[in-house]
A and B are shown apart, each in its own frame.
Chain A
Amino acid sequence: MSDLSAEEDEWIEQQLSDTAQPSVENNLVAADLADRVLSVLSPEDQQALLMIDGEQASIKEVAEATGWSESKVKVRAFRARKKVREAMERLLGSKTTELVR
């Protein structure tokens, strides 16, 4: 994954400083960033993560929608979450610690 664009960097700064304003532009920047991070996943893992973390669906709902077993959904979601988090950490570098403080 390449470095952050100026818009993405600004969006991150807003999140860190807790000054993020809801706007169409901000939503699109976040969605673009999500696409970049999601690109490290397989389509199935993307689907599982977007349904659970994005749409707040339960494990059972995802299992019913996809036809996968609940344990398979859990494994896919765990694996996807880990990969995305690690990709995000690499992308953000030292900035991430500021968000927790």
Chain B
Amino acid sequence: MNSKHITEALDDVALASLSRSELDEMRAHARDCEPCGSALAAAQLSARIMKERAQVVIEPSPFFQTRVMAALREQQAMENVPAFLRLWRSSRALVSSMALTTAALAVLSFVFAAPATTALDQTASAYSAESVLFDQGGDDQLTYEQVLNAIYTDDEGQ
């Protein structure tokens, strides 16, 4: 092989499958032939990185199995929990916030409703049936006699 270029032989088979004598022959030729020397060196490096690349692909992370088993246990635990409890867990935040908002609104309505009611009562008392009846005529106050006359006049008229 010494007189023959080795590039085609390098591409034909994997370097790992060559025997020691075949490799020695290639090296002997590569020492005297620069293009074949470069080709052999590149082929050797290529073979090494392919091996490394294959190992990286095959070997999973050491924690891979642990993570998978943990996820599996978590999923199984979720399946064993009753449906109502699962629903409660998922909607707990929403329900809590709604209850809190309702309570806050109730407190606010009590706090601000009290003065409003007093004002309303005062307004209502100012216009009670008695006051309307007796205050007819505005500031003109009737005397006791005028009232009696008015009553008896009405009775006689009927």
Contacts and interface: CB of A to CB of B under 8 A. Distances in A.
Interface string A1-35: 00000000000100100000000000110110111
Contacts of B54: 50, 54-55
Interface core residue of B31, B34, B41, B49 (most chain A CB under 10 Å)? B49
- Chain A, interface size: which category? 35 or more
A89 B7 CA distance: 12
Interface in A65-101: 77-78, 81-82, 84-86, 88-89, 92, 95-101
Contacts of A63: none
25 contacts: A15-B45, A15-B48, A27-B55, A30-B48, A31-B52, A37-B46, A49-B50, A53-B14, A53-B16, A53-B46, A78-B12, A81-B11, A85-B43, A86-B42, A88-B45, A89-B38, A89-B42, A92-B45, A95-B41, A97-B38, A99-B40, A99-B41, A100-B27, A100-B40, A100-B41
Contacts of B48: 15, 30
Given A56-B16, A81-B10, A97-B38, A35 B53 contact: yes
A84 B121 CA distance: 96
